[in-house]
A = this chain, B = another copy of it.
């Protein structure tokens, strides 16, 4: 099999919400994970853990939490309404896909949960005075940047699935009831989930991902000056 080109993978890795129940060989999941861990993480700490859920009872427990959280999140979507850059048809399709997923996520043959172990801040008195004085600012900073050490790996998972003929997408609604998810997975107190990714052979097709063009979302040097590269 010829390797899928990088740009081809990035441009066709659609969010695939409809998956076949057929099992996915463990070797393929291992290849996906081996690609995931090539991503960067802050200070190269690699504080990640990936939970691969194949057990049916576990999948359905997670699916029930996802469903409960999604019912609430749906109300926020409804109150916000359609984003301006989506056509009505695109928006209806997105909502229909979401709704399908809320009912069926536990039926995917694999649910993958990328997690991070929280890095402890050193105690205040282990730091020089001028840093210790800004301890709270550092705590906030560490919260803000946490996702930078796991979502790059998540994107590698999406791209690797595309290359291997698998479908997946990022979902995060379950984090609204994170404690229930953490109990199901028996995560230690300092480990948190960042995504719930159903993986399976897709019923739908890969295809071009439509986006707002670069000219609308890029600026040169500062806000307001259009990028015209």
Contacts of A152 in B (CB 8 A): 151-152, 154-155, 158, 170
The distance in angstroms between the C-alpha atoms of A11 and B31, with both chains bound, is: 12
User: For chain A, which range describes its interface: under 10, 10 to 19, 20 to 34, or 35 or more residues?
Assistant: 35 or more
A176 is an interface residue with CB less than 8 A from chain B: yes
CB distance from A158 to the nearest CB of B (A): 7
Q: Looking at the assembled complex, report how far the CB atom of A96 sits from the nearest CB atom of chain B, in whole angstroms.
A: 13
Please tell me if the beta carbons of A46 and B195 are within 8 angstroms of each other in the complex.
no
Determine the distance from Cα of A145 to Cα of B86 in the docked complex, in whole angstroms: 22
Q: What chain B residues lie within 8 Å of A134 (beta carbons)?
A: 72
Would you call A148 and B148 a contact (CB within 8 A)?
Answer: no
Digitize A1-36: 1 where CB-to-B-CB distance is under 8 Å, 0 elsewhere: 001111111110101000000000011011001110
Q: For the complex, is A194 an interface residue (Cβ under 8 Å from B)?
A: yes
Q: For the complex, what is the distance from the CA of A30 to the CA of B147, rounded to whole Å? A: 25
Instruction: Tell me, in angstroms, the Cα distance from A97 to B131 when the chains sit together.
Output: 22
Given the contacts A43-B94, A80-B119, A186-B222, A141 and B175 also touching, CB distance less than 8 Å = yes
CB-defined contacts of A220 to chain B, threshold 8 Å: 51-54
Given contacts A45-B83, A79-B122, contact A159 B10 (CB under 8 A): yes
B194 touching A37, Cβ below 8 Å: no
Report whether B44 and A219 are in contact in the complex, using a CB–CB cutoff of 8 Å.
Answer: no
For A144, the chain B residues whose CB sits under 8 A away are 172, 175, 178
29 contacts between A and B (CB under 8 A): A3-B8, A4-B5, A6-B159, A6-B162, A7-B160, A10-B159, A30-B214, A33-B217, A42-B170, A46-B212, A46-B217, A49-B223, A50-B227, A51-B218, A53-B220, A53-B222, A58-B222, A72-B131, A72-B134, A76-B138, A80-B119, A141-B175, A144-B178, A145-B175, A147-B147, A148-B170, A148-B172, A186-B224, A187-B223
